[in-house]
Structure 1
């Protein structure tokens, strides 16, 4: 499988320097690329590695073109530098082009013979329903959508146009997935939220729990991507909402009645407790926790493994668990904390010195 560099350039823009008439057989990391590979440099720390790379074509920022062309031991056809203002963004769009044109996923519109589609479901003729999938009564699967093997679209749920459910995904009853969204394997959308009312057991033996039925749904916007084995709970009364462009990594828990603003991204193992409100264009690092009923403003960035224990009303970068603070203050406090034992010993020595 290969592509003409001229076709890639025509689709993605930028400026080519050096040899332009060549074919690219793969997109590769700098250290593993050969003369038929295309690599990229998006950060200054990788420029040292560029000098030793054998990548025939390298996407670079404009100020790195000379370095890319001056690499030693060029092949007979020479090197090529592809200058772009944002090499990482160009790389991202290049991977999409490559998947569509060079590594297309097999797709066969229609319903697999082993799938079950309820008589009251609406499945567009251009949709794809995979082996052993289940489409329940009243569900809607729009044009170009793909439902993977063993996935379930429950009653009255809706899958938007060109959305894709991988294998073993459940889209719960009354839930909606927007156009072009992607849900990876094992994810459950619309499980019951964690709602229970405590009551006293007879004889003063402690508390038990009465289930609160979760009567809301989950509404997911367009161009959302949800990783593998995530759980997004339905609302108790209203809906849990993920707005357009949200990106979730694997193993993320979104509690009932949470609202996540547009284009917010969360790394693996994030947990958001019920009724929290996350603004637009936020990021949450891996393992971060947001407690229930809190609010994060737009453009808030939470460091990995932080625990958000209060609402955050101002944009910025926040870190820590003792308690969470703006990142600059947290780093200063963390540096002081590392000296706490020595400071304690000095204080005890001063107290002994001044004792009567």
Structure 2
């Protein structure tokens, strides 16, 4: 893969910002403040890292103007260095783009409607009546089930599985190993065992959604599971049947969301949160990592449900006291009652 390099002037024009230094100076990668060398760009996003500036050897520094005097090299002067880094990371990304066309080893149904600009990699399988929009890339080993639709400029990394009847909007990115549209966990109990409830809904993914690797989003039992525009989902997340995730929400790794729950807009769900089914979560809600959500949230805000880490011996003592709380509460209530009758 050819190494990309960009001049200081080009980067300044890309960010639409002021610059100081040698216009033609080129860098080919982004690195941390401590490790950056002459061919690297780096950035100062937090004041606590300013102590590294005097020793920084980066070729280009992204920095606020007020903090730039400590560094004597090439500089890009911006209001928000972290946001500038986020924008620059796109052009420095090293990924082989799948060129338009269908790899000879791919299997594509005759009834599929595929824009000429779509790239389909080795051993991909495209089912009957699939529709794929302009500029979309399908990596090696992906499966797109019958009747599914992918919008423009989507990217499926290797070995993504999309079941039948799944809809993706525009600019959706799905990382390797993820499954969209698998059956929801629906079974009716009988004396002779479990009877499967066939899942008749689908999955609808909005625009500008990114889904991490090895995540599963189940199809709905009757209505669709819906992921609205701008949602970002980390690795190893399970979203059950009939769930709706509101626009702009962010879900970190190892989260589990049970069926028919609605998550509001612009929510942030930290790692390993477990959310009960058939509840509603208000817009702009934040859950700390490991929180167990057993009931709906009607007011936005930050919520947590587990104690912070503590030394083991202290944790053991507190765990014993926790089991004694019910008895202690009953004794306290009795004492209060006795005191009130005197």
TM bracket, shorter-chain basis: 0.7 to 0.9
Alignment of 1:219-238 (within 5 A): 219-238=204-223
Could you tell me how far 1:51 is from its partner in structure 2?
A: 2.9
Q: Distance in 2 between matches of 1:160 and 1:230?
A: 20
Alignment of 1:115-126 (within 5 A): 115-126=106-117
Of residues 179, 191, 196 in structure 2, which corresponds to 1:188?
Answer: 179
Of residues 18, 37, 40 in structure 2, which corresponds to 1:34?
Answer: 37
Partner of 2:249: 264
TM-aligned CA distance change 1:340 to 1:186, over 3 Å: closer
Q: Distance in 1 between matches of 2:217 and 2:105?
A: 28
Could you tell me how far 1:337 is from its partner in structure 2?
A: 9.0
TM-score normalized by the length of structure 1? 0.83
Question: Retained in 2: the 8 A contact 1:308–1:321?
Answer: no
Could you tell me how far 1:62 is from its partner in structure 2?
A: 3.0
Of residues 62, 67, 71 in structure 2, which corresponds to 1:59?
Answer: 62
TM-aligned CA distance change 1:214 to 1:22, over 3 Å: same
Could you tell me how far 1:5 is from its partner in structure 2?
A: 0.9
1:151 aligns with 2:154: no
Alignment of 1:1-356 (within 5 A): 1=3, 2-69=5-72, 79-99=73-93, 103=94, 105-201=96-192, 208-321=193-306
* CA deviation string 1:17-60 (max 9, x = no partner): 34444111221111110123110111122112233221122112
Could you tell me how far 1:142 is from its partner in structure 2?
A: 1.2
Q: Distance in 2 between matches of 1:11 and 1:18?
A: 16
TM-aligned CA distance change 1:342 to 1:119, over 3 Å: closer
- Which shifted more, 233-242 or 135-144? 135-144
- Which shifted more, 230-239 or 266-275? 266-275
Could you tell me how far 1:106 is from its partner in structure 2?
A: 3.4
TM-aligned CA distance change 1:117 to 1:59, over 3 Å: same
Could you tell me how far 1:231 is from its partner in structure 2?
A: 0.3
User: RMSD of aligned C-alpha atoms?
Assistant: 2.4
TM-score normalized by the length of structure 2? 0.87
- Which shifted more, 14-23 or 43-52? 14-23
* CA deviation string 1:87-141 (max 9, x = no partner): 1111011011223xxx462332111111111111111111111111111111111
* CA deviation string 1:234-265 (max 9, x = no partner): 00000000011111111110000000011111
Q: Distance in 2 between matches of 1:341 and 1:185?
A: 41
- Which shifted more, 276-285 or 44-53? 44-53
Could you tell me how far 1:311 is from its partner in structure 2?
A: 1.2
Q: Distance in 2 between matches of 1:118 and 1:23?
A: 46
